[in-house]
Chain A
Amino acid sequence: MQAFTKLDGLVAPLDRNNVDTDAIIPKQFLKSIKRSGFGPNAFDEWRYMDHGEPGMDNSKRPLNPNFVLNQQRYQGASVLLTRSNFGCGSSREHAPWALLDYGFRVVIAESFADIFFNNCFKNGILPIVLPKAEIDALFGLTEYTPGFKLVVDLEQQKVVRPDGHAIPFEVDAFRRECLLNGWDDIGLTLRHADKIKAFEERRRAEQPWLFS
């Protein structure tokens, strides 16, 4: 996994509650057996005027001028600013894969759905929960400040606005370590292989029906 330490990135706003994973990456693109290449189809149904299917040349498709991420000023954004319950719905990891492939490394929201939140950390994306008042202010600043950027510092656990206002955020200590170092979870877990084996043997003796 790609490590995440600090980022100075352009912010793109998506001013909606309950953005679901079907919206982030529609189901027809889930037929891929690869992990990459989902970026051009992120938010497909909102982003394009036509209906998208796998295998299309997305560069030739008509863009929806009313979709905020299509505005010229937000091209190259790496921080997505949104509202509450972002990533609700399906557990598809294709959603964070699509966001990452699109170029987002940070999602700032009032709240996240659990499974999506967890999936982000597995892919080097930092999901940050901030209070509603801070989010409201960030939406205002993003709209009225062309090229509005934020510094996101995972080490220091703060988001810093261009005016110097620093907003602290919480992050689980273990997840923070993994993200800072780009660690592979499986490798970490396998350090406990003996414990897993012992646990499994005890379980097999006590509840044999689980192992038939």
Chain B
Amino acid sequence: MPQTLYDKLWQNHVVHEEADGTALIYIDRHLVHEVTSPQAFEGLKLAGRKPWRVSSIVATADHNTPTDHWEEGIKDPISRQQVETLDANIREVGALAYWPFKDMRQGIVHVVGPENGATLPGMTVVCGDSHTSTHGAFACMAHGIGTSEVEHVMATQCLIQKKSKSMLIRVEGKLGKGVTGKDVALAIIGKIGTAGGTGYAIEFGGSAIRGLSMEGRMTLCNMAIEAGARMGFVAVDDTTINYLKDRPFSPKGETWDKAVAYWRTLKSDEGACFDCTVDLKAEEIQPQVTWGTSPEMVVPIGATVPDPAKEADPVKREGMERALQYMGLTPNLEIKKIAIDKVFIGSCTNSRIEDLREAAAVVRGRQKAANVKLALVVPGSGLVKRQAEAEGLDKIFVAAGFEWREPGCSMCLAMNADRLEPGERCASTSNRNFEGRQGPGGRTHLVSPAMAAAAGIAGHFADVRDIL
């Protein structure tokens, strides 16, 4: 019987299965960061348990780390304690790799895993972080877990799971100029809603997806969780394999050839059945901008802010009204007329080299608008930063009045000092526009890196296709 990619990944990791379908799933890669791991390490210690396979662990500090003045260390004592707790835990327990604060390879956990070849096709990848779905770009079964499960994986190398339903999201055609993986992700969420993928594992397919780079695929899979799906993945092809060649933890020599032969089987078979299929036409996807406090509150750049009066469902209508009030917006306002205060280019969604190149292409030779108080560019890792500097991207940003920072999660969730002040409006390449996400009272509009750059130049949202 033809199998889906998900069927294959699942089957390949079942250690034990009960009659009711509850299964023990083996975990190949365990990514660890400072926020969701301390209680797990402590739990392990209190129970007198040893980690099952330390060489599955790849760790880094990212959520709390500052993005400037590294020479001054972490000023917030509670943030510092959390990062130092990770240092101490890894020192005691060990790991395949640990990239601590200030290390050249330190960065956002979902950026450093793939760029070092620590994420390989066919793996199960987990992390106490919902954006672990990112790694699905490599045909991995990758998803976020809570801290109890972080401890469970450390102690047993397994998770107790039930198989999800499968969804195929097919995007056929060719994406237009200035339309990116981020716009595809937001357009999908706009179509199926933030709970549309709940209970499903999503496979992204179709010619437009195959046309995306690994960076674009990571952006797309990263946002699967914003569509409610714990995981989203893309089949292996030449793009995947070319990306992985010669990465530090990628296999070498004969093992590489053997691995590639296996990886090439990681795609859905012809005629495989999905529980649900959603189709989008690439040509119809335009640059997207969110207007509300949920990623599903999204429209194309040429549109206007929706009018709650036209919503029939009272709970939804009230939700829209509340969102508009929080966002300080009125119905029917043109998106292009919304002025912004800040720009944030970064996060596990959009901080890779391609994202920075796309933003720099818009910014090159232009100046940040006077009303934009701060435009922050935060590379996803030390390696991304170094690469961008080698290409001169940092100089382009700085010349335009943008700030070039050190790597980390930064203003995506504002656990460090980078944040919005109450009422400030931000064009952000991050993944969540929830109330207070980028700082209490802050107003987030999710966009692609190119669109964030365009807004930074114009001072309000603008169609990047008119600039390129």
Residues of A with Cβ closer than 8 Å to B?
15-18, 20, 22-23, 26-28, 30-35, 45, 51, 54-55, 83-85, 88-93, 96, 111-115, 118-119, 122-123, 172-174, 185-186, 188-190, 192-193, 195-196, 199-200, 203, 207-212
Binds A, one of B149-157, B385-393, B396-404: B149-157
Listed by A's residue number, 11 A-B pairs whose Cβ atoms lie within 8 Å are A18-B194, A27-B415, A28-B415, A31-B76, A45-B435, A85-B198, A92-B146, A114-B228, A186-B156, A189-B155, A207-B262
Query: Which of these, A32, A93, A111, contacts B198 with CB under 8 Å?
Result: A111
Query: Which of these, A22, A92, A212, contacts B436 with CB under 8 Å?
Result: A22
Closest 5 pairs between A and B when the two form their complex, measured CB to CB: A93-B146, A91-B144, A209-B251, A122-B148, A33-B38
Contact assessment for A123 and B194 in the assembled complex, using a CB-CB cutoff below 8 Å:
no
A113-B316 Cα distance, complex, nearest whole Å: 17
When C-beta atoms are compared, the residue in chain B nearest to A95 turns out to be B146
- A93-B36, A212-B249 given. 18 additional CB < 8 A pairs? A18-B195, A30-B415, A31-B82, A33-B38, A33-B39, A33-B42, A45-B436, A88-B228, A91-B128, A93-B148, A111-B195, A113-B228, A118-B149, A122-B149, A189-B24, A200-B53, A208-B251, A209-B120
When C-beta atoms are compared, the residue in chain B nearest to A54 turns out to be B78
Enumerate chain A residues within 8 angstroms of B130, measured Cβ to Cβ: 89-91, 115
Q: A31-B415, A192-B24 are in contact. Are A22 and B437 (CB under 8 A)?
A: yes
A167-B303 Cα distance, complex, nearest whole Å: 44
Contact assessment for A119 and B146 in the assembled complex, using a CB-CB cutoff below 8 Å:
yes
Query: Which of these, B39, B55, B158, B319, contacts A189 with CB under 8 Å?
Result: B158
A51-B442 Cα distance, complex, nearest whole Å: 12
Q: Which of the listed residues A28, A90, A113, A174 has the most CB atoms from chain B within 10 Å of its own CB?
A: A90
Q: A89-B130, A190-B155, A207-B259 are in contact. Are A33 and B81 (CB under 8 A)?
A: yes
Q: How many residues of B contact A (CB 8 A)?
A: 79
Q: Nearest Cβ in chain B — how far from A142, in angstroms?
A: 15
- 0 or 1 for each of B249-280: is its CB under 8 Å from A? (1 = yes): 11100011011001000000000000000000
Enumerate chain B residues within 8 angstroms of A28, measured Cβ to Cβ: 415
Q: Nearest Cβ in chain B — how far from A16, in angstroms?
A: 7
Contact assessment for A185 and B152 in the assembled complex, using a CB-CB cutoff below 8 Å:
yes
A16-B314 Cα distance, complex, nearest whole Å: 11
Enumerate chain A residues within 8 angstroms of B259, measured Cβ to Cβ: 207, 209
Q: A32-B78, A89-B130 are in contact. Are A115 and B145 (CB under 8 A)?
A: yes
Contact assessment for B160 and A196 in the assembled complex, using a CB-CB cutoff below 8 Å:
no
B432 interfacial contact with A, CB 8 Å: yes
Residues of B with Cβ closer than 8 Å to A?
15-16, 18, 20, 22, 24, 26, 28, 35-36, 38-39, 42, 47, 49, 52-53, 55, 63-64, 76, 78-79, 81-82, 85, 120, 122-123, 128-130, 132, 143-149, 151-152, 155-158, 160, 162, 194-195, 198-199, 225, 228-230, 249-251, 255-256, 258-259, 262, 294, 315-316, 318-319, 322, 413-415, 432, 434-437, 440
A94-B132 Cα distance, complex, nearest whole Å: 18
A15-B24 Cα distance, complex, nearest whole Å: 37
Enumerate chain A residues within 8 angstroms of B16, measured Cβ to Cβ: 192, 195
A174-B162 Cα distance, complex, nearest whole Å: 10
Contact assessment for A83 and B156 in the assembled complex, using a CB-CB cutoff below 8 Å:
no
Contact assessment for B146 and A207 in the assembled complex, using a CB-CB cutoff below 8 Å:
no
Contact assessment for A31 and B195 in the assembled complex, using a CB-CB cutoff below 8 Å:
no
Enumerate chain B residues within 8 angstroms of A172, measured Cβ to Cβ: 20, 22, 162
Contact assessment for B78 and A31 in the assembled complex, using a CB-CB cutoff below 8 Å:
yes
Contact assessment for B157 and A196 in the assembled complex, using a CB-CB cutoff below 8 Å:
yes
Enumerate chain A residues within 8 angstroms of B199, measured Cβ to Cβ: 114
Contact assessment for A31 and B436 in the assembled complex, using a CB-CB cutoff below 8 Å:
no
A91-B79 Cα distance, complex, nearest whole Å: 19
Enumerate chain A residues within 8 angstroms of B228, measured Cβ to Cβ: 85, 88, 113-114
When C-beta atoms are compared, the residue in chain A nearest to B316 turns out to be A17
Q: Which of the listed residues A23, A88, A123, A173 has the most CB atoms from chain B within 10 Å of its own CB?
A: A88
Q: Nearest Cβ in chain B — how far from A81, in angstroms?
A: 13
Q: Nearest Cβ in chain A — how far from B217, in angstroms?
A: 21
A137-B132 Cα distance, complex, nearest whole Å: 38
Contact assessment for A199 and B26 in the assembled complex, using a CB-CB cutoff below 8 Å:
yes
Contact assessment for B24 and A93 in the assembled complex, using a CB-CB cutoff below 8 Å:
no
Q: Nearest Cβ in chain B — how far from A180, in angstroms?
A: 15
Enumerate chain B residues within 8 angstroms of A83, measured Cβ to Cβ: 315
A112-B249 Cα distance, complex, nearest whole Å: 37
Contact assessment for A185 and B160 in the assembled complex, using a CB-CB cutoff below 8 Å:
yes
Contact assessment for A186 and B198 in the assembled complex, using a CB-CB cutoff below 8 Å:
no
Contact assessment for B123 and A91 in the assembled complex, using a CB-CB cutoff below 8 Å:
no
Contact assessment for B251 and A212 in the assembled complex, using a CB-CB cutoff below 8 Å:
yes
Enumerate chain B residues within 8 angstroms of A118, measured Cβ to Cβ: 145-146, 149
Q: A22-B434, A31-B64, A85-B195 are in contact. Are A174 and B160 (CB under 8 A)?
A: yes
Q: Which of the listed residues A34, A196, A200, A208 has the most CB atoms from chain B within 10 Å of its own CB?
A: A196
A88-B250 Cα distance, complex, nearest whole Å: 34
A29-B63 Cα distance, complex, nearest whole Å: 13
Contact assessment for A186 and B47 in the assembled complex, using a CB-CB cutoff below 8 Å:
yes
A122-B47 Cα distance, complex, nearest whole Å: 16
Contact assessment for B434 and A200 in the assembled complex, using a CB-CB cutoff below 8 Å:
no
Query: Which of these, A30, A185, A207, contacts B148 with CB under 8 Å?
Result: A185
Enumerate chain B residues within 8 angstroms of A188, measured Cβ to Cβ: 160
A172-B259 Cα distance, complex, nearest whole Å: 37
Q: A23-B434, A192-B16 are in contact. Are A186 and B49 (CB under 8 A)?
A: yes
Contact assessment for B146 and A211 in the assembled complex, using a CB-CB cutoff below 8 Å:
no
Contact assessment for A174 and B435 in the assembled complex, using a CB-CB cutoff below 8 Å:
no
Enumerate chain B residues within 8 angstroms of A115, measured Cβ to Cβ: 130, 143-146, 225, 230
A33-B38 Cα distance, complex, nearest whole Å: 5
Q: Nearest Cβ in chain B — how far from A46, in angstroms?
A: 8
Enumerate chain B residues within 8 angstroms of A192, measured Cβ to Cβ: 15-16, 24, 158
A204-B49 Cα distance, complex, nearest whole Å: 23
A195-B126 Cα distance, complex, nearest whole Å: 21
Q: A34-B39, A113-B198 are in contact. Are A196 and B20 (CB under 8 A)?
A: no
